[in-house]
Amino acid sequence: MPDMYAFQASKPDSQSEKTSAETYDPNILPCRIHHDGPVESAGRFWAPKTDEKDNISTAHFRGRKLRGRRVAIPDGYQGVIAMPTERILPSSQTIDKNEDLVEVQPEEPVKILETQGTFDHMMVWGHENMPAADDVYVKGLEEWIRFAETMHGVPPTDEKTTST
């Protein structure tokens, strides 16, 4: 069974200048990069330009032209950059000595995801063309969140539905 995780704000590290309030601009690229650490001269490899007229971003990565679409995180939500830790969330089970002895299954340990930063939009990139509305990442943000809200009974925040 996969691990269970809970979010927790990161603790300021005296050796690091990063804080949990740091904001990021994530990019979803149409390629696989076998590297997950910092790059010394990122500007040499990644320098997207945005056309102010039509708000479309263009970049070149390893000789391939990429077109980008900015996708906003819906209102009421926040994008989070998090790192898994080995720390475990304390158990919330309490034992009442007055109740009869009941066999209780032990809770599955919940590991902590430490928040490194946040984002309110992300760039989704496509080869040569801007990603369409049916792109899995665009659809995931724009459509699936609304679907999940409907499925779980979260009332819409549309002003038309509120009575005065």
Q: Which residue segments constitute the domains of the chain, with CATH numbers given? A: 23-31+47-79+119-153 (2.40.128.680)
Res 158: pLDDT = 59
Confidence band of 142 (pLDDT split at 50, 70, 90): confident
Whether the CA torsion 84, 86, 89, 93 is positive or negative: it is positive
Res 147: pLDDT = 83
Q: What is the pTM of this model?
A: 0.68
pLDDT in tens, 87-138: 888 876 555 565 665 566 667 888 888 998 999 999 999 999 989 888 998 8
**Average of per-residue pLDDT across 71-87:** 88
Q: List phi, psi (to 5°) of 80.
A: -130, 135
Among residues 114, 11, 122, 130, the alpha carbon closest in space to that of 77 is found at 122
Alpha helix (H) residue ranges in the chain: 42-45, 136-139, 145-151
Res 45: pLDDT = 80
Res 100: pLDDT = 60
**Average of per-residue pLDDT across 72-92:** 86
